[in-house]
Structure 1
Amino acid sequence: MKPSRAIARSVPFHAAACAALTFLASGIAHAQHAPDLPLHCADLAGALLPAAAIGLPTNGALVQTATMIPATANGNLNGDFCRLTGVIRAQTAGTPDIRFEVNLPSRWNGRALQFGGGGYSGVVVTGTGPMPFSPDRAPLARGYATFGDDSGHNGDASVATFGLLDEAVVNFGYAHLKKTHDVALALIERGYGRAPEHMYFAGGSTGGREGYTVIQRYPDDYDGVIANSPALNFSGVRLIGVELGRLEYRVPGGFVPPALLERVYERTMQACDTLDGAADGIISNVEACRALEPKIIDSLRCPADALASAAPSVSADDCLTPPQLATLLKLRDGLHLPYALAWNVDRYRGYNVFQGTRFTSLLGLAHSPERSPQLTFRANGYLYAQGDAYLKYFVTHDPTFDSSNFDVMRPGRYQQRLATLSATIGAMNPDIAHYIARGGKLITLHGLADEVISPNQTIAWYEGLVARYGQARVDSFMRLYMVPGYQHGNGVFIPSVDLIGALDDWVSRGNAPDTLVTTDIAQDTNGRTRPLCRYPAYPRYLGKGNLNLASNYACATPSSP
């Protein structure tokens, strides 16, 4: 990571802080200086960064607090570090400032890590906690300077009302990433007297989309990115949510009750669990399971004669009626739009409905057969509730808009708005040649049973890269790990693996990761291990030994049964 000379020159600093800079540059990593750190950390409070120090338009930034957190502080597992909080001023009246936090460890490893957000963000990502999927200490405890922000608005991560504010939407889509990066880099340079040797980014879901965003928009700013379960094609995932809501609540009989969704899941497990050689509650050989999908669907379909006679023996929880099957097939097939979004994207890939995805979770499909006046995740389904909010606040700017009347295939006067938003938030630009050329690295982990962000959208993005750049070039900079049984933060297998260690080893020493070992942290099966295989391989049981040990599995190429 090259120092930003323009930033270093343009940032004024008072004399006391200059003394602190000299001290920190020469000795911040040495434990014997720990008693002096609070004094010098506090000198950073009130530091101003002018707009010229930030690569996108702002009204400058202010460090509001600078607090030395000692290793002995209650609950602190990160050692001594200087915690800086502040704001990046918005340009437009009424737009919230971007709130940020930067953490400077006393034992710095020369690296910096920007943390991504989740959902609609709205809460400052402190950067003090552990990495998602990581069994090891938090990056801050490992010596990384860490930072994060709230993406430019305040509120719960599920609330989309900020979509009424144009600058806030741009901040959420991409601008907060660059603005916070530049502010953090300037503060790191002040604190240590030099820029980081390597700058990394890590996030999941929204943070995963942000990881792809920085690769596409700011390739010179990052040496490595971890982008898990990435919310790519943001307009697409919101539009499929609207389509599902219409099928569930406007089509008579289209609602699929939770008990029937569970029946679909159980039937799929019966058919596909052992296709990987192990009866372990995980469908790993998804492609082989997909080959069995017609038989699975036929076994779940309500008999025609029973439907015709409306026989009382046909329970709503026993079989799928044609309208219910149509709802699930839309979820499986995804969207095929008759118009293009940004970068000529006209599809959103569907979900693994009949390959082990459980849609009865809080983030799954609707639990109530009635459409609530105010949609909620549990009652009306996560995808539909979020799609409804997206139309209200981001697309139409009308909080009273009735999404049940919105025709996704014919959006009329809103088509251009959808295209514009997909460019702002979607992270679907396939041209990442600059990032590849400068040696940037990318690791993505995604659950094959994800019920929120389709894993098939991530696979399609990867395969698009292979078609564009060739397998060898993609292998030189990217690793894709698809995790069987993992949903969106839950599932029958929840992976834990040291991705930041793998990324740093790749960037710093050129050791490209291959098969990794991941530990399950799901409550009922905590501690079992599996190989984390590079796509398209999956972990296959070798036929003998403990089912819970990764050493008894090998990465295999998908095949039909």
Structure 2
Amino acid sequence: MLLAGVLPLLGAGPVAGSPPVPGRAATVPQCAALAGMRIPASAMSLPTTGGLVESVSVETAQVSGRTVTYCRADADLFPVDPSAPDIRMRVDLPYDWNRKAMMFGGGGFDGTIPDLAENVPFGPADQPVPLARRYATFASDSGHRQNPASPPSLDGSFGVNDEALDNFAAGDALKKTRDASLFLIRHAYGTDPAEVYFSGGSTGGREGLVVAQRWPRAFDGVISAFPAWNNLSEGLDLGYLAQVLSRPGAFPGPEKQTLLHDRVVRACDGLDGVEDGVVSDPSGCHFDPHVLRCPGGTDTGPGCLSDPQIGAVVALSSPFRWPYRIASGETGYPGFPFLAGADMRTPFLGFGTTAPADPMPVTSGYGFQYWDQWVKYFLTRDPDHSGLDVDPRHPGEWLDRISRLSTVEDRNDTDLGPFARAGGKLILLHGAADELVSPLSTTDYYARVRGLLGPRTTGTFLRYYVVPGANHANFGTPAFAAAWDSVSALEDWSEQGKAPTNPVVTDTLHDRTRPLCAYPRWPRYRTGDPDSASAFVCTR
């Protein structure tokens, strides 16, 4: 295993650090020169044993309706631990380069290289994606390969290796990939990017906060959407909820989930001044699930909820606290806003269509499958251990391991002052109806940053937007399929000092717009066409 990582560094290939060809156009990549190039360990600020460009090719494709020619370079970064997997990474280097670079984050447990021609989270379809704007784009698999037999982004088996776990959970692979990518960009174009940005959602949103916290000068701007920043804390809540929903009679099936969703929307939809299927102020929505109680509390069909099902719904939408200390300092998770307009008709991300069980069904909710993998490979490192056998309220023998993992998984440093002083800009986004990562959690992180740095300093580098009706990554058919050109907004703010002013978000499924209100404001209907943002005003 050690030789597999070291021998490529001793083989033939361009010498790392060799100068670019003099006089060549800085906007055209020297693709052939990257073939077989060795990436020295010294090019990365974190320990590796170097890397190697495994393949290069010149591609031409239609991207956002534009013909884009680019050089694709695939590389491996080799670990220090010979038993750890390589980091696989990719860089797309466009012709007519705009002198900017964009790194993409992953999702779930990662394990695959994101599509470098993708859009940013909640990005608009009528504007070009970064590669079509001639950004150099790059990303990695975060240091392990997804098992093709596992559901996408739900393979946690790499967690048995400490270096692989740190690459993913602590974010080490992010900096290694960033450094190696800029090394290749420099050799392809003969110059560094003028700006380097990061964009990601969910795990990728968490990764965006990781880079701002740990390496405040590495990126000029970050788009962090629905970030799972307190990954271990959320996992404990998901583990508790998995146990609750696995109890006899507690799981509400899809028909009951739809019933609950429809009744919540019916109760709270008009509180913003217009009935449009969107609950604009979830904090003002108060719904008692007991109004759906079946006669006598026993399950009598899809038109009501039994007492065990009401208990499960209350648990899902309530804060979860644990009666012990963990090293990250976190004490709980705020729960999910299922009773505040969440779209329960996307079961894969929420409840699932079947109850959690052992073995964990692929038809259970995504979060419960995530927890099960975490227990098997991060916590117990025993693939035969059931996630339902670990009680997050009373973990017993696993408490010390949970506490240790919290130091790498809960990325809760709220002192973003170094990032701000370096000129960094952060756009934070979350859908108010997110089924998988609670928007209440992102609001908690924002409040902590604001409480530490103060409103004035926070306002110089951070904008936080909660999008009513939007769910996790526009999955399925959300009440509001959010689309906003955050890339242009970030460019204007970072490069010209023009902070976002009165932004407008589009619902791509329902052909309507809303003001994108900076938290804690939300859009209240005033007068005019309810499908137009001009008919709404941001209010507290």
Deviation string, structure 1 residues 474-500 (Cα, Å, up to 9, x no partner): 111100110111111231111111111
* Aligned-partner residue type, residue 384 of structure 1: F
What amino acid is the match of 1:461? Y
Query: What does the per-residue CA deviation read over 1:281-304, in whole Å, with 9 as the maximum and x for residues that have no partner?
Result: 111021221xx32xx33422345x
Q: Give the conservation status (yes or no) of the 8 Å contact 1:113–1:202.
A: yes
Give how far 1:76 is off.
8.5
CA displacement 1:324-379 (0-9 Å, x = unmatched): 2221122111321122334311111111121111234221114225x54431342x
Q: How many residues are aligned here?
A: 517
The residue matched to 1:476 in structure 2 has which SS? helix
2:166 is aligned to 170
Q: Which moved more, 1:225-234 or 1:151-160?
A: 151-160
Match of 1:213 among 210, 222, 226: 210
What residue is the counterpart of 2:191 in the other structure? 194
Do the aligned partners of 1:116 and 1:204 also contact (CA within 8 Å) in 2? Answer: yes
Q: Which residue of 1 aligns with 2:530?
A: 547
Aligned to 2:31: 41
**Residues in 2 aligned to 1:49 and 1:218: alpha-carbon distance in whole angstroms:** 21
Partner of 2:401: 417
**What is the SS of the residue equivalent to 2:472?**
coil
Q: Which segment is superposed worse, 146-155 or 87-96?
A: 87-96
3-state SS, counterpart of residue 120 of structure 2: coil
Quote the residue 2:320 is aligned against: 335
Is residue 122 of structure 1 aligned with residue 111 of structure 2?
Answer: yes
Q: Which amino acid aligns with 1:151?
A: S
Deviations 1:304-337 (A, max 9, x none): xx34xx6xxx623233333222211221113211
Letter of the aligned partner of 2:448 in structure 1?
A: G
Match for residue 506 of structure 1?
Answer: 493
Whether the 8 Å CA contact 2:343–2:435 is kept in 1: the answer is yes
* Aligned Cα root-mean-square deviation (Å): 2.2
User: Paired residue for 1:286, among 282, 286, 291?
Assistant: 282
Number of the residue aligned with 1:538: 522
SS at match of 1:316: coil
SS in 1 for 2:68: coil
Shift of 1:46: 0.8
Q: Which residue of 1 aligns with 2:311?
A: 326
Letter in 1 for 2:320: L
Instruction: Specify the code of the residue in structure 2 equivalent to 1:210.
Output: E
- Take 1:74 and 1:408, find their aligned partners in 2: how far apart are those partners? 46
**2:246 and 2:357 in contact (8 A); partners too:** no
Say which of 285, 291, 305 aligns to 1:299: 291
Q: TM-score, normalised by structure 1?
A: 0.88
Question: 1:75-131 CA deviation, whole Å, 9 max, x = no partner?
Answer: 984522221111101222332211111122222222111110111111112422222
Query: Against the structure 1 CA distance between its residues 179 and 76, is the aligned structure 2 distance closer, same or farther, given a 3 Å change threshold?
Result: farther
Q: Which has the higher helix share?
A: 1
Distance in 2 of aligned mates of 1:398 and 1:78:
49
State the distance in 2 between where 1:316 and 1:398 align: 40
Maintained 8 Å contact 1:531/1:555: yes
For residues 370 and 15 of structure 2, what CA distance do their matches in structure 1 show? 50
CA distance in 2, matches of 1:552, 1:55: 51
5+ unaligned residues in a row in structure 2: which ranges? Answer: 1-11, 147-151
AA of the residue aligned to 1:301: R
CA contact (8 A) 1:445 1:483 kept: yes
- Distance in 2 between residues matched to 1:375 and 1:503, nearest whole Å: 41
Match for residue 106 of structure 1?
95
Q: Which of these two proteins has the greater Rg computed from alpha carbons?
A: 1
- 1: CA distance, partners of 2:63 / 2:314: 52
Report the CA distance shift for 1:335/1:22 in structure 2 as closer, same or farther (over 3 A): farther
* Residue 352 (str. 1) matches residue 345 (str. 2): no
**Equivalent of 1:66, from 49, 56, 60?**
56
The verdict on how the C-alpha distance between 1:419 and 1:74 changes in structure 2, with shifts beyond 3 A counting, is closer
TM-score by length of 2: 0.91
After superposition, give the CA deviation of every residue in 1:218-277 in whole Å (9 maximum; x if it has no partner): 111111100001012111221111111211223x33222221221111111111111111
Measure how far apart 1:397 and its partner are.
Answer: 0.3
In structure 2, the residue matched to 1:51 is: 41
- 2:151 maps to 1:150: no
Residue 454 (structure 2) pairs with residue 463 (structure 1) = no
Question: For 1:389 and 1:450, how far apart are their aligned partners in 2?
Answer: 22
State the partner residue of 1:180.
Answer: 177
Q: Conserved in 1, the CA contact under 8 Å of 2:44 and 2:176?
A: yes
Alpha-carbon separation, structure 2, partners of 1:164 and 1:15: 35
In 2, Cα distance between equivalents of 1:128 and 1:405? 42
- Letter of the aligned partner of 1:479 in structure 2? R
Amino acid at match of 2:489: A
| Residues 78, 140 of structure 1: 8 Å contact kept | no
Structural mapping, 1:219-258, within 5 Å: 219-250=216-247, 252-258=248-254
Letter in 2 for 1:330: A
The farther-off stretch of 397-406 and 444-453 is 397-406
From 503, 507, 510, the equivalent of 1:516 is 503
The verdict on how the C-alpha distance between 1:422 and 1:74 changes in structure 2, with shifts beyond 3 A counting, is closer
Match of 2:79 in 1: 90
The sequence identity of aligned pairs, in percent, is 37
Counterpart residue number, 1:482: 466
| Runs of 5+ consecutive residues of structure 1 not aligned to the other structure | 1-11
Judge conservation of contact 1:276–1:540 (CA < 8 Å) in 2.
Answer: yes
Aligned with 1:374 (options 351, 359, 365): 359
Distance (Å, rounded) in 1 between the aligned partners of 2:67 and 2:456: 39
